Amino acid sequence: MSATGPAQPADMAASPQYPANRWLIAAVVGLAAFMEVLDISIANVSLSHIAGSLSASQEEATWVLTSYLVSNAIVLPISGWFSQVLGRKRFFIISIVIFSIASLACGLAPSLGWLIVFRILQGAGGGGLQPVSQAILADSFPPAQRGMAFAIYGVAVVFAPAIGPTLGGYITDHASWHWIFLLNVPVGIVLLALAIPLVKDTAAYEAARRAKMADGFTIDYIGFALLALGLGCLQIMLDKGQQNDWFDSSFILAMAVIAVSCLSALVLWELFHRHPIMDFRLFRYFNFAVANLLMFMLGFVLLGSTLLIPQFVQAVLGYTSTLAGLVISPGGFAIVVMMPVVGYLSGRIEARWMVAFGLITVGLSMFHIAGFNADVTFDQLVTARIFQTLGIAFLFIPLTNVAYIGVPADKTDQISAFVNLARNIGGSVGISLVTTWLARRAQYHQSVLVEHVTPYDPQYASLVDSLTRHFTEMGAGLDAARHQAVAAIAQLVGEQAQLMSYLDDFWLLGVIFIGLTPVILLLGSTREASAPPGAGH
């Protein structure tokens, strides 16, 4: 039945037949996405162990993260193209196999060089799992149930980065870093055993795929080369920028020039290619374009804050790695609880109002954290993190739904690829920006505070005298006590500068999200979410 009148033959022919076991399919593809996203963050806390075990420096070990992100970023946006060439189910199975074998190889790697090679393969295998999982969900569920299905997927991709550092630290401390990779192998075997009989390409999808292949389909070698080089250099630039002092480094500058040149050429090339690997013409659908922008910002704040909060409690409050993970984890569990609720509401409340609520909630949570000081308690931190994740839950599902509104049904692979790419690149940009801003603001606050640390400042002089008396009473000589007093004040200045730089970062994230709220007013009505895919504009 069409949205505007009696069903026409074409409408009936296009009406999909949804599988009876679709909830089991949702669980399988959700687990696949969880496994892949988890490996983005699970190795973060294990780098020092990896470096020590493989006789490498800490800086060299960071390539374990960068190599995965680069290959993942390259494969993710062209997963839709691979699905059309190979068939969605076949590509999904191949991705699981590559990811599982590469995980086994990572766990058994004899040197850092081999580990990086295997991480590249693992990232390539994982790059197809997120978007293909989402595309399978979009085609397996009727629009009325799609919100709840995306809730299962959302739990996977939002909960995984939240729990990753905690899980990685626990495994590394109680077993060894090898097991953060080896545990993927049994999970991959289970996924294969379930996915092979359960996941199927729909008849309409397979017919459209075969018709396209028969219609003079050609491989876009130029597009693939531009994409691989552009996204690869972009990811390296974002990951290594702060470490190399950004554009003061000729290496980072070269990465930036290559990335901008290749990605600009890619857009122009793909717009006029008959069979593009990335269909940028989809951005003419306004809701799709806005959904990608907001999904980019969701990744920006989600991964940026997930990086900042553990660093904040360890560097400023002196928490252990395990305790820092326990600050983050309850927010992940809150996501698990809230996603089904939001999935239920998504069929009853317009997506744009849910997105507005999510943006405001996340923004206010960032302002709340920006008001903390060194006396903040563990309970206050956990509550603030839960407050933030409640807002994130109201963003992921509605934005995913909005991306499909009005876009032709045969573009689901491309839609899911773009949406997941936007979130992943947003996360990389977020991590780079908050890390850079943190370092720059720490330098700024340090310089401002140091201006008051002079013998001519009455408060400074009084504090030096007080501390000198304290250290003298502890048994130190007068000169030694005065040196200890000055050193204590210098340490205090550094700690305060660091605290204020973290609070500045949280404040910045809050401003960004509150500032994005008016964007949702540009969206058209999202009631079309209840219409069949492709039945929109």
3-state secondary structure of 61: helix
Q: What angle do CA 68, 73, 77 make, to 5 degrees?
A: 145
Whole-angstrom distance, CA of residue 236 vs CA of residue 214: 38
Residue 354 in tokens: 């849910």
pLDDT for 60 equals: 72
Burial class (CB in 10 A: 0-12, 13-18, 19+), 197: exposed
109's CB contacts (< 8 A; 6+ apart) are: 54, 115, 118
Ordered per-residue pLDDT tens for the chain, 537 residues: 333 444 443 443 445 567 677 888 888 888 888 888 887 777 766 777 787 888 877 667 777 777 887 788 788 878 777 877 788 888 889 999 999 999 999 989 888 889 889 998 998 888 888 788 878 887 787 777 777 777 777 777 777 776 777 777 778 777 788 888 888 899 899 989 988 888 887 777 777 777 776 666 667 788 888 888 888 888 888 877 877 778 888 888 999 999 999 999 988 988 887 777 788 888 888 888 888 888 888 888 777 777 788 778 877 888 876 777 788 778 878 887 888 888 778 777 887 788 888 888 888 988 998 888 888 888 998 898 888 888 888 887 788 878 877 777 667 777 877 888 888 788 888 878 888 888 888 888 878 777 766 666 676 667 666 777 777 777 777 777 777 777 777 777 777 888 888 888 889 888 888 888 887 776 655 554 444 333 333
Q: Percent of the chain scored above 90 by pLDDT?
A: 6
pLDDT for 526 equals: 53
Residue 334 in tokens: 């809150």
pLDDT for 456 equals: 63
Which candidate, 82, 80, 92, 30, places its Cα nearest to that of 407? Answer: 80
Asked if residue 44 lies in contact with residue 165, where contact means CB atoms within 8 angstroms, the answer is: yes
295's CB contacts (< 8 A; 6+ apart) are: 399, 400, 403, 419, 422, 423, 426
Q: What angle do CA 427, 433, 435 make, to 5 degrees?
A: 100
Whole-angstrom distance, CA of residue 473 vs CA of residue 480: 12
pLDDT for 5 equals: 41
pLDDT for 261 equals: 93
**At 251, which amino acid appears?**
F
pLDDT for 530 equals: 40
pLDDT for 43 equals: 73
pLDDT for 537 equals: 37
Alpha-carbon distances, residue 463 vs 100, 391, 449, 476 (angstroms): 60, 44, 15, 17
pLDDT for 13 equals: 41
- Per-residue pLDDT tens over the stretch 390-414: 888 888 778 887 887 777 766 777 7
191's CB contacts (< 8 A; 6+ apart) are: 28, 31, 32, 35, 96
pLDDT for 217 equals: 62
Taking the whole predicted model, whether its pTM rises above 0.85 is answered as no
